[in-house]
Structure 1
Amino acid sequence: MKRIIALTCFAALLLAGCGKTGNSSSSSESGSTTTEPVSTTAASAEDTTAAEITTTEAASTTDESKTEADTTKEPDGMVSAGGRMDMYPAVYQAEVKRVFDETAAENNGMASIEYALRDLDVDGIPELILKYGTCEADFRIHIYRFDEECELQDLGVFGGGHTSFCYDENTGNFVLLWGHMGSASIMYNVWENGTLKQTDHYDFTLDEQNPSYDAVLEEKGIKHMEFVGAYTIDSNSGIKSYFQHGDGTSEEFDGLYLDYIC
Structure 2
Amino acid sequence: MKKILAMLCLTAVVLAGCGKPEADSSSAKEPGTAAAAETTAAAETTETAETTAEATTAEVTTAAETTTEPGGNVFAGGLMDMYPAIYEGFIKSEFDRVASENDGLASIEFAFRDLDVDGIPELIFKRGTCEADYQVNVFTLDSEGNIKDCGLIGGGHTAFGYDENTGRLVMIWGHMGAADIEYLEWDNGTVKSVDNYEFTLDENTPSYDTVLEEKGIKYMDHVSAYQSDYETGVTSWFCHSDGTIDEKEGLYLDYMG
TM-score range, shorter chain: 0.7 to 0.9
Determine the C-alpha separation between the residues in 1 that align with 2:81 and 2:187.
26
Q: How does 1:206-225 map to 2 (within 5 A)?
A: 206-225=201-220
Tell me what 1:155 maps to. 150
Shift of 1:213: 0.8
User: Which amino acid in 2 is paired with 1:220?
Assistant: K
Tell me what 1:236 maps to. 231
- Give the secondary structure class of the aligned counterpart of 2:85: helix
Determine the C-alpha separation between the residues in 1 that align with 2:234 and 2:48.
64
Alpha-carbon RMSD: 2.9
Deviates more, 1:125-134 or 1:152-161: 152-161
- Cα distance change, pair 211–75 in 1 and its aligned pair in 2 (3 A): farther
- Give the secondary structure class of the aligned counterpart of 1:242: strand
User: Which amino acid in 2 is paired with 1:239?
Assistant: V
Determine the C-alpha separation between the residues in 2 that align with 1:111 and 1:60.
53
Tell me what 2:23 maps to. none
Is residue 166 from structure 1 mapped to residue 164 from structure 2 by the alignment? no
Tell me what 2:94 maps to. 99
Is residue 80 from structure 1 mapped to residue 84 from structure 2 by the alignment? no
Q: TM (normalized to structure 2)?
A: 0.79
Shift of 1:93: 1.3
Residue 172 of structure 2 contacts residue 182 of structure 2 at CA under 8 Å; is this kept in 1?
Answer: yes
Q: How does 1:1-262 map to 2 (within 5 A)?
A: 54-55=49-50, 57-74=52-69, 77-261=72-256
Deviations 1:175-221 (A, max 9, x none): 00111111111100111111211111111111122221111111111
- Give the secondary structure class of the aligned counterpart of 1:77: coil
Q: TM (normalized to structure 1)?
A: 0.77
Shift of 1:147: 2.4
- Cα distance change, pair 73–219 in 1 and its aligned pair in 2 (3 A): same
Larger radius of gyration: 1
Tell me what 1:14 maps to. none
Shift of 1:51: 5.6
Deviates more, 1:71-80 or 1:191-200: 71-80
- Cα distance change, pair 238–66 in 1 and its aligned pair in 2 (3 A): closer
Unaligned runs of 5+ in 1: 1-27
Normalized per residue, which structure has more helix? Answer: 1
Shift of 1:50: 6.8
Shift of 1:77: 3.5
Determine the C-alpha separation between the residues in 2 that align with 1:32 and 1:86.
67
Deviates more, 1:93-102 or 1:75-84: 75-84
